[in-house]
Chain A
C-alpha cells in the first residue's frame, strides 16, 4: 500500500507543479499568439487557397 501512496502522492505533486507553471507560462505567451493571429487576419495575409505551410 505504501508504494501506491507514494505513486499517487508523487503524481499529484507533479500535476500541481506542472499546472501552476504552465498556467503562468501560457498566460504570458498566449497573449502574443492572439496578437499575432489577429494581426495576420486583419492584414489580409490569410489566403484559404494558399498551399499548406
Chain B
C-alpha cells in the first residue's frame, strides 16, 4: 500500500484539524432550535450547492458507484443521469418544492399536518426516520472498510477507525447543528472535489481513456454502455422512480431547500447542483472500471491479498445459488459453522484458491469483491502525497454526509415524532438540549448497526431499498398534498403503510431466506421498489375516495394554496 503515515498522514491530520476547528467555531451563532436545525434560513446559493454536493457524496457513495462501474461499466452511472434530469426539471419548474418551501415549514411531515392532520405528520416522521436510519446504518462501516483497505491499516483497527470518525463528526454536529454542518460542508466540498478530480485525472493520464473504454467493451460488451441491456428496464424504471422521489423528499436534500434564504434560492441550489449528480456516479464509476482493469477476477488466488482478506464466505454453505460442485471444491464440510462465520477467502487452502473461480461463488461474495476492489486498487496505484489528498477527500466526503444525515434526521425526530407529544413549546435551551441528545443517539445507532448488520447483495440495491421505505409514500403524499384536492388522511395512511411494507418485507425476507431464494420466486429488489411506488399511489387514490367525508375534505385548500 502506498499510504505514507508521515506525509499522507500529515495531510489527513491537517484536514481533520481544520474541519474540527471550523465546525466548532461557529457554534456561538446557534441560539435557538431554528438556527440549530435550518441555520436560521440564511443559506445562499453557492454555500447551498457546496453543502448539498458534499452531503450527497460520502465514502458510501463512492463505494457503490464504483461498484456500479465495476459490475456494469458506464451503464452503472445511469442513476446519476436520471437524478440530474429530475433535479434540473424540479429546480426549474419548482414542482412540489416551491409550495413546500413557500409554506415555511421545517420538515415535510410538518406540511402534511396542515393537510392530513397530526397523526399523518407523526406517521410520516416515523417512516422517514425508519427508512433514513436503515439507509445510513451502513455508512460508518463502509467508510471504515474503505479506510482500512485503501491505507493498508490492520483490519483490527476498523472499529477504532469507525469510533474516531463518529466522535469527530458528532462533536461539531452536536455543538453547532446545521450551521456547523454547512460551514464544514463547504470546506469538505473543496477538499473532496480536489481529491476526486486529481485521482480521476491521474487514472485517465496513467491508463489512457482508450484502454478504460476498451475494458468496458471487452468485459461487458454493449451492456457496459447501455443500461437497458445490462441492468434491464425494471432496474432503470426503479432507479428513475427512486431518484425522482429522492429529489422531492430525501431529508438531506429537502433540508437545503428549507435552509435556503428564499424559495428561488432553494430552486437555484437544485438547478446548480443537478449536473453534480452525473459526476457523483461517473467519476467513481471510472475508478470502478479501473479496478476491473487491474483486478479482473478469475480464480480466487488472482485477487490481491487485501481484497481476499476482506471478503467473508459466511453463509455460502446454505446459499442455493452456489452449485454443489463449487461447494465440494471449497470442501466446506471440514469447517464448523463457527469457523465458516469468520472465514475469508484468503484463509481457504491454496489449492482451493487456485481451482475455484470467483464467478462461481455466492452473490454476496461477488458483491463484496466488486465493492472492495476499488479501495484496494486506490491503495496500490495512487502515489504517495496524492493518496493523502485522496484519503482527506474521502474523509471530507464521509464526514459531511454523516453530519448532515444526523442533523436532518434529528430534525424529523424532534419536530415530527416528538413534536405532537409536546403540550407547550420548549424553551430554546431545552429544545437545543433535546436536539443535541437526539443527534448523539443517532450516532450511537450508527455505530452499533454498522457493527452488526451483514450486507447482502449490492450496496446500491440496499440503499435504494431502504430509501424506498419512505421515498415511495412520501413522494406520493407530497404530490397529492400540493396538487390533488381530494387527498385525505385515509389515503395518506394507506399509502404510507403500503409504501413501507414492500421494501421492509423484502429486506426481512432477504435476511431470512437470502437474495437468491427470493429471486427464484420472482421477488427482486427492483420489483419491490416499483411495486412500492405503484401501490402506494393506488392506495392514496382509492382510500382517499373511500373516505366518507371526502367531498368535505376536497373543499379545504391545499397547503400550497
Report which A residues bind B (CB closer than 8 A).
1, 4-5, 7-9, 11-12, 14-16, 18-20, 22-23, 25-27, 29-34, 36-38, 40-42, 46, 48, 52-53
- Specify which of A8, A26, A40, A48 is in contact with B189 (CB 8 Å cutoff): A26
Contact A11 B47 (CB under 8 A): no
CB distance from B41 to the nearest CB of A (A): 8
Report which B residues bind A (CB closer than 8 A).
26, 29, 32, 34-35, 39-50, 74, 102, 104, 179, 182-183, 186, 189-190, 193-194, 196-197, 200-201, 209, 213, 217, 222, 225-226, 261-263, 272, 275-276, 278-279, 282-283, 286
- Specify which of B29, B46, B261, B279 is in contact with A18 (CB 8 Å cutoff): B279
Nearest B residue to A49 by beta-carbon distance?
B34
Q: Inside 8 A of A31's CB, which chain B residues have their CB?
A: 186
Q: Inside 8 A of A27's CB, which chain B residues have their CB?
A: 190
Contact B275 A15 (CB under 8 A): yes
Nearest B residue to A45 by beta-carbon distance?
B42
Most chain A beta carbons < 10 A, residue from B48, B275, B279: B279
Q: Inside 8 A of B263's CB, which chain A residues have their CB?
A: 52
Contact B225 A1 (CB under 8 A): yes
- Specify which of B40, B194, B226 is in contact with A40 (CB 8 Å cutoff): B40
Give 6 A-B pairs besides A37-B40, A37-B43, A48-B34 with Cβ atoms closer than 8 angstroms: A12-B209, A22-B49, A27-B190, A34-B47, A37-B47, A52-B104
CB distance from B523 to the nearest CB of A (A): 32
Nearest A residue to B283 by beta-carbon distance?
A15
Q: Inside 8 A of B42's CB, which chain A residues have their CB?
A: 36-37, 40-41, 46
With A19-B197, A29-B46 known to touch, is A12 a contact of B282 (CB < 8 Å)? yes
- Looking at chain A's contact residues, is the secondary structure mostly helix, strand, loop, or mixed? helix
CA distance A26 to B193 in the complex (A): 11
Contact B47 A5 (CB under 8 A): no
Q: Inside 8 A of A53's CB, which chain B residues have their CB?
A: 261-262
Nearest A residue to B261 by beta-carbon distance?
A53
Q: Inside 8 A of A14's CB, which chain B residues have their CB?
A: 278
Q: Inside 8 A of A48's CB, which chain B residues have their CB?
A: 32, 34, 40
Contact A41 B35 (CB under 8 A): yes
Nearest A residue to B29 by beta-carbon distance?
A41
With A12-B286, A18-B279, A30-B186 known to touch, is A36 a contact of B44 (CB < 8 Å)? yes
- Specify which of B45, B190, B209 is in contact with A33 (CB 8 Å cutoff): B45
- Specify which of B43, B49, B196 is in contact with A26 (CB 8 Å cutoff): B49
CA distance A20 to B196 in the complex (A): 10
CA distance A33 to B183 in the complex (A): 10
What are 18 inter-chain pairs, A to B, with CB distance below 8 A? A1-B222, A4-B226, A7-B225, A9-B209, A11-B282, A14-B278, A15-B282, A20-B197, A23-B189, A26-B189, A30-B46, A30-B47, A33-B43, A34-B182, A37-B40, A41-B35, A46-B35, A52-B104
CA distance A23 to B183 in the complex (A): 16
CB distance from B76 to the nearest CB of A (A): 11
CA distance A53 to B183 in the complex (A): 23
CA distance A26 to B185 in the complex (A): 12
CA distance A16 to B197 in the complex (A): 7
- For the complex of A and B, the 7 pairs showing the least CB-CB separation, nearest first, are A4-B225, A33-B47, A23-B193, A29-B46, A33-B44, A46-B40, A8-B74
Q: Inside 8 A of B189's CB, which chain A residues have their CB?
A: 23, 26, 30
Nearest B residue to A31 by beta-carbon distance?
B186
Q: Inside 8 A of A52's CB, which chain B residues have their CB?
A: 102, 104, 262-263
Contact A15 B213 (CB under 8 A): no
CB distance from B183 to the nearest CB of A (A): 6
Q: Inside 8 A of B46's CB, which chain A residues have their CB?
A: 25-26, 29-30, 32-33
Contact A37 B190 (CB under 8 A): no
Contact A19 B222 (CB under 8 A): no
Most chain A beta carbons < 10 A, residue from B193, B272, B283: B193
Q: Inside 8 A of B43's CB, which chain A residues have their CB?
A: 33, 37
CA distance A30 to B42 in the complex (A): 13
Contact A16 B200 (CB under 8 A): yes
CB distance from B46 to the nearest CB of A (A): 4
- Specify which of A9, A25, A30, A40 is in contact with B213 (CB 8 Å cutoff): A9
Most chain A beta carbons < 10 A, residue from B39, B47, B48, B49: B47
With A19-B197, A23-B197, A30-B46 known to touch, is A5 a contact of B213 (CB < 8 Å)? yes
CB distance from B374 to the nearest CB of A (A): 17
Contact A23 B225 (CB under 8 A): no
Q: Inside 8 A of B50's CB, which chain A residues have their CB?
A: 26, 30
CA distance A20 to B286 in the complex (A): 16
CA distance A12 to B262 in the complex (A): 33
CA distance A38 to B39 in the complex (A): 10
CB distance from B560 to the nearest CB of A (A): 13
Contact A34 B286 (CB under 8 A): no
- Specify which of A1, A16, A34, A42 is in contact with B186 (CB 8 Å cutoff): A34
